[in-house]
Amino acid sequence: MATKKKRPAPKKKAAPKSQKAPKKRMPARSQPETLRLRSVSLSLTSTDLQRSIAFYRDVLGFMMGDEWRTKGALMGVELHAGAVTFMLSQDDFAKGRDRLKGIGTRFYCGTAQDIDRLASQIKERGGVLDQEPKMMEWGSRVFMISDPDGFKLTFVQES
């Protein structure tokens, strides 16, 4: 009676050294463990929500997200630009109607887009820049603009 010889299983080829990912050792985490965030979203209080929506959507180019309503009245919105979320809410004026906003605050918005082109498009859509695009001492090209409530935004071209 003839018996079949078992063939050995084919050996797996090792990936060439150039394709192997080097093993990376992560540094030990400090103890107690430090805060590690994955995202940030801004929430701004608006004196006139419709005016602020028009500025962020129509002038800067944000996209509309969720809306929040109370008894049918629009009280807030979520706006998106790439991976960034801004939330705007209607001020209830509990702290007064003449309260100054944005004092001592500036939001740096990083983009890979051409900063000069972006500034030009914003101006074409009615935006008034606080500062035209320019190179800063630290080597970044930026322009600055304020929203209708005085919140300051600096757009930074990232490489």
Q: Which pLDDT score, from 0 to 100, does residue 131 have? A: 97
Q: How far apart are CA 86 and CA 45, in angstroms?
A: 11
User: What does pLDDT average to over the chain?
Assistant: 88
Q: Which pLDDT score, from 0 to 100, does residue 16 have? A: 59
Which has more confidence, 82 or 14?
82
Residue 105, CA distances (Å) to 44, 102, 123, 150, 153 in order: 11, 5, 23, 9, 9
Q: Torsion angle of alpha carbons 31, 42, 112, 39, nearest 10°? A: 30
Residue 125, CA distances (Å) to 57, 109, 118, 133 in order: 10, 19, 11, 17
pTM equals 0.77
Q: What is the pLDDT of residues 108-141, one digit of tens each?
A: 999 999 999 999 999 999 999 999 999 999 999 9
Give yes or no for residue 68 having a pLDDT over 60. Answer: yes
The candidate with the shortest Cα–Cα distance to 52, out of 142, 150, 123, 134, is 150
Give yes or no for residue 71 having a pLDDT over 60. Answer: yes
Residue 113 has a CB neighbour count (10 Å cut-off) of: 14
How many Cα atoms occupy the beta-carbon half-sphere of 15 within 13 Å? 6
Q: What is the pLDDT of residues 17-57, one digit of tens each?
A: 556 666 788 777 778 888 888 888 999 999 999 999 999 99
Q: Which pLDDT score, from 0 to 100, does residue 59 have? A: 98
Q: Which structural domains are found in the chain, ordered by start?
A: 40-93+105-157 (3.10.180.10)
